[in-house]
Structure 1
Amino acid sequence: MHCSRGLELEGFLIDKAFLGGGVYLLRFETKELLPEILPGQFFMLGPHRWKSDPFLLRPFAVVDWSENDVEFLVKVVGRGTKDIVSCERGTPFRLRGPLGNGVFTATRGRSLALVAGGIGVAPLLCAWKFHSDVVSSFVFGVSNRDWAGVADWASSKVSGLTVASDDGSLGYKGTAPDVLKKEGDFIDEIWACGPVPMLKAVYGTFGGKSLIMASLESRMGCGIGGCHSCAVKTQRGMLKVCHDGPVFDLSEVFLDELI
Structure 2
Amino acid sequence: MGDAKIALLFIAPALVGFIAFYLVPTVRGIYLSFTNYSLLGDPLWIGIKNYATIFTDKLFWNAMGVTGEYVVLNIVFQTVIALGLAVLMHRVPKSTLVRGVLLMPYLVANVIVALLWFWMLDYQMGIVNQVLSWVGLPRVAFFGSETWAIPTIAFINVWRHMGYTALLLLAGLQAIPKNVYEVASRDGAGPWKTFWRITMPLLRPVLVLVLVVTVIGSFQIFDTVAVTTGGGPINASRVIQMYIYQKAFTEQDFGYASALSVILFAILGIVAFLQMKFLRGNESDLD
User: Shorter-chain-normalised TM-score: which range?
Assistant: under 0.3
Q: Determine which structure has the larger strand proportion and give its number.
A: 1
Q: Which has the higher contact order (CA 8 A, sep 6+)?
A: 2
Q: Could you state the TM-score of these two structures normalised by the residue count of structure 1?
A: 0.24
- TM-score, normalised by the number of residues in structure 2: 0.22
Larger radius of gyration: 2
Could you say which structure has the higher helix fraction?
A: 2
